[in-house]
């Protein structure tokens, strides 16, 4: 039995978790900073770092207490070290290094993007990931910081086959909510507001899908772009609202149509990639994967031969269980890091994945 402590501070959640043998989640503590960032309509990196600093020791202690374990019973400490906001990442990374040194624990640096994918398997077990029939596995990772399609082959070869050329899908939702004065984070409030509107009321652009009859360049077939839909919303508000402000039915229809445009693009690109790469399974993960319309739309459109693994909602938004779970695969391979482990803001080129 291997107990791994996971630490996550890449954005605006301070999180710690204890996971046994890759999928038995003993504790999963998340301290959110939403209230602190809400007045700014987005995450302020330095503020995030300060908040992580004041929360991290309590969050780690709570994760240990809830699991009923002491640090002496932990086999390794894992931490998100990329990608993310640098000042925020550094807090978790340095805390993990301190624990590693003081308690002589192996240190495991984890890729947050890969951890989101792993979150889909935490509750259902890792045997699916060892089964060759699960591959090729395509993962749609949709969060505030990323929107990408990662393809994993049975031999472990991994490739980011699509990514956003500008804003992430979650960012497009957060920025729209800010523009419409709906609050932060945008995803949940947009989903709720959209329920009262008609998603076909307005036609917002679906960039790089060929929806307007314009041919999509082959290199952008699986890439995303959400800056156009955001700009279109800005002009829509100027043209329709009084002094740019929308309310009532107009607001509801606008929000529903805007959400629909983003979900439509995500679904079209993903289903095209599923067919093109002959995927045997599809993972949906990241904060935007909490959205019910997106979850059910993909399920409805996905061919019945393709296995569907939407991450449980509690593992969609940032958490440390996905970090500690994935770290078990590094532990098994004795892939440990030394104290030179660095924090990196960008997603590196991914060619392999820990769980294969």
Which residues of the shown chain bind Zn ion in the complex (CB under 5 A)? 143, 318
Pairing of the two strands 137-142 and 147-152 = antiparallel
> Which one of residues 95, 152, 318, 330 is an interface residue with ligand KG4 (CB under 6 A)?
318
Nearer to ligand KG4, 106 or 162 (CB): 162
Minimum CB separation from ligand KG4 for residue 108, in Å?
19
> Which one of residues 191, 250, 254, 322 is an interface residue with ligand KG4 (CB under 6 A)?
191
Minimum CB separation from ligand KG4 for residue 295, in Å?
9
> Which one of residues 92, 287, 310, 325 is an interface residue with ligand KG4 (CB under 6 A)?
287
Q: Indicate the length of the chain as a whole number.
A: 356
CA distances to 63, 91, 169, 216, 296 from 230, in Å? 39, 32, 10, 20, 24
CA distances to 267, 309, 316, 317, 321 from 312, in Å? 19, 9, 6, 10, 12
Whether the CB-CB separation of 315 and 7 falls below 8 Å is answered with: no
Minimum CB separation from Zn ion for residue 113, in Å?
8
C-alpha to C-alpha distance for 87 and 46, rounded to whole angstroms: 6
Region binding ligand KG4 by CB under 6 A among candidate stretches 50-58, 169-177, 222-230, 269-277 = 169-177
C-alpha to C-alpha distance for 284 and 295, rounded to whole angstroms: 8
Check residue 174 for interaction with ligand KG4 (CB under 6 A): yes
DSSP secondary structure string for all residues of 241-268: SBTTB--HHHHHHHHHHHHHHHHHHHHH
Query: What x-and-dash track marks residues 124-143 binding ligand KG4 by CB under 6 A?
Result: -------------------x
C-alpha to C-alpha distance for 109 and 337, rounded to whole angstroms: 7
Nearer to Zn ion, 30 or 298 (CB): 30
Q: Give bridge partners of residue 77 from the DSSP assignment.
A: 5, 107
Nearer to Zn ion, 8 or 260 (CB): 8
Nearer to ligand KG4, 20 or 177 (CB): 177
C-alpha to C-alpha distance for 354 and 356, rounded to whole angstroms: 6
Would you tell me how many other CB atoms lie within 10 Å of the CB of residue 300? 8
Whether the CB-CB separation of 308 and 279 falls below 8 Å is answered with: no
Minimum CB separation from Zn ion for residue 29, in Å?
16
Check residue 167 for interaction with ligand KG4 (CB under 6 A): no
Secondary structure class of 65 (helix, strand, coil)? helix
> Which one of residues 105, 291, 325, 326 is an interface residue with ligand KG4 (CB under 6 A)?
291
Would you tell me how many other CB atoms lie within 10 Å of the CB of residue 211? 15
Check residue 6 for interaction with ligand KG4 (CB under 6 A): no
Check residue 170 for interaction with ligand KG4 (CB under 6 A): yes
Query: What x-and-dash track marks residues 230-259 binding ligand KG4 by CB under 6 A?
Result: ------------------------------
Footprint of ligand KG4 (CB under 6 A): 11, 143-145, 170, 173-174, 185-188, 191, 286-288, 290-291, 317-318
């Amino acid at each position: 039995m291997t107990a791994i402590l996971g630490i996550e501070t890449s954005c605006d959640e301070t999180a710690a978790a204890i996971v046994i043998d890759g999928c038995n989640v003993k504790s999963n503590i998340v301290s959110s900073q939403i209230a602190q960032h809400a007045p700014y309509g987005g995450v302020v990196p330095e503020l995030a770092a300060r908040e992580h600093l004041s929360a991290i020791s309590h969050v780690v202690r709570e994760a240990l207490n809830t699991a009923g374990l002491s640090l002496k019973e932990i086999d390794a400490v894992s931490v998100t070290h990329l990608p993310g906001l640098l000042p925020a990442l550094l807090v978790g990374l340095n805390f993990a290094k301190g624990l590693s040194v003081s308690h002589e624990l192996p240190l495991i640096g984890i890729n947050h993007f890969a951890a989101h994918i792993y979150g889909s398997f935490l509750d259902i077990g890792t045997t699916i990931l060892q089964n060759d029939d699960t591959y090729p596995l395509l993962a749609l990772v949709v969060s505030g910081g990323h929107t990408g399609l990662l393809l994993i082959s049975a031999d472990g070869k991994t490739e980011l086959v699509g990514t956003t050329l500008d804003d992430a899908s979650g960012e497009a939702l957060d920025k729209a909510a800010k523009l419409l004065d709906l609050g932060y984070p945008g995803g949940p409030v947009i989903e709720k507001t959209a329920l009262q509107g008609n998603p076909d009321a307005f036609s917002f652009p679906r960039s790089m899908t060929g929806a307007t009859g314009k041919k999509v360049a082959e290199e952008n077939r699986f890439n995303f772009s959400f800056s156009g839909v955001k700009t279109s919303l800005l002009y829509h508000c100027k043209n329709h609202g009084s002094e740019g402000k929308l309310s009532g039915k107009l607001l509801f229809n606008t929000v529903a149509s805007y959400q629909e445009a983003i979900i439509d693009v995500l679904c079209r690109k993903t289903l095209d990639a599923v067919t093109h790469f002959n995927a045997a399974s599809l993972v949906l993960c990241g904060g935007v994967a909490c959205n019910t319309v997106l979850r059910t739309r993909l399920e409805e459109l996905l061919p019945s031969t393709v296995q569907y693994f939407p991450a449980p909602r509690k593992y969609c938004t940032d958490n440390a269980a996905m970090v500690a779970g994935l770290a078990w695969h590094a532990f098994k391979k004795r892939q440990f890091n030394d104290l030179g482990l660095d924090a990196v803001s960008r997603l590196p080129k991914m060619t392999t994945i820990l769980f294969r």
